Amino acid sequence: YKLVGDSVQRNHGYVDKYIGDAVMAVFGAIGSTDVMAREWQENCVAAARSVQALAPVFKLNSVDPVLKKHFQQLTSEQLRNVGKIRIGLESGVVEIARFDRGNESEVTFIGTPVNIASRILAQAMPGEVWAGANLHANALKTADVSESREVEYKNLPGRFQAYLLGT
């Protein structure tokens, strides 16, 4: 969590929540209002690239020692992918929602961009960063994309373009 949280904060994002081993972050919802949407999108991409750049060090310093200490029975493919981080990104207007449960309440961000980012994440392979069409159209240069594909997202009508960011 620290690796992702630090990268998000360094790039002016806000960690909304931790969901299992996933992190949901939002850019542009908190902080200075003079930052333009394109800058927020670029900050989002910069945070994702920072996470990917730091992932090998995270694996070496944090994951490998645990694997050696506890000698987990993993296949060679699983070992190759341990510590590689999958990232799904999308941009667009989201809503801040408050959910009350008795004496507890939770604030989170909801909307189609959140759903698309989640679906993109689910389709990414370890070590990949994929972006949705809105982020691609507004903040990514053609040189940043190494592959694109049309995908379907569960519970969202139609097919959508997704873009693999180059390293």
pLDDT number for residue 132: 92
Question: According to the model, what pLDDT value does residue 31 have?
Answer: 54
DSSP structure string for 46-67:
HHHHHHHHHHHHHIIIIIHHHH
Residue-level pLDDT at 20: 77
Give CA angle at 163 (126, 90), nearest 5°: 90
DSSP letters spanning the chain: -HHHHHHHHHTTEEEEEEETTEEEEEESSSS-TTS-HHHHHHHHHHHHHHHHHHHHHHIIIIIHHHHHHHT----HHHHHHTT---EEE--S--EEEEEEETTEEEEEEESHHHHHHHHHHHHPPTT-EEEEHHHHHHH--GGGEEEEEEEE-TTS-SEEEEEEEP-
What are 107's strand-pairing partners? 98
> What does the pLDDT look like over 20-34, one tens digit per residue?
778 899 998 755 555
For residue range 64-118, what is the model confidence (pLDDT) as tens digits? 777 777 666 777 777 777 778 899 999 888 888 998 988 998 888 999 899 899 8
Q: What is the pLDDT of residue 67?
A: 75
Question: What's the CA gap between 52 and 120, in Å, rounded?
Answer: 16
| C-alpha span between 95 and 110 (Å, rounded) | 5
Q: Average of pLDDT values for 4-32?
A: 85
pLDDT of 167 over the 70 cut: no
In terms of pLDDT, which residue wins out, 47 or 64?
47
The 10s digit of each residue's pLDDT in 136-166 is 988 776 668 888 888 887 777 888 889 998 7
Strand partners, 15: 25
Residues in the chain: 167
pLDDT top residue among 48 and 77? 48
Q: Is the pLDDT of residue 130 over 90?
A: yes
Whether this model's pTM surpasses 0.85: no
Asked if residues 127 and 107 have their Cβ atoms less than 8 Å apart, the reply is no
Q: Contact 116/160 with Cβ under 8 angstroms?
A: yes
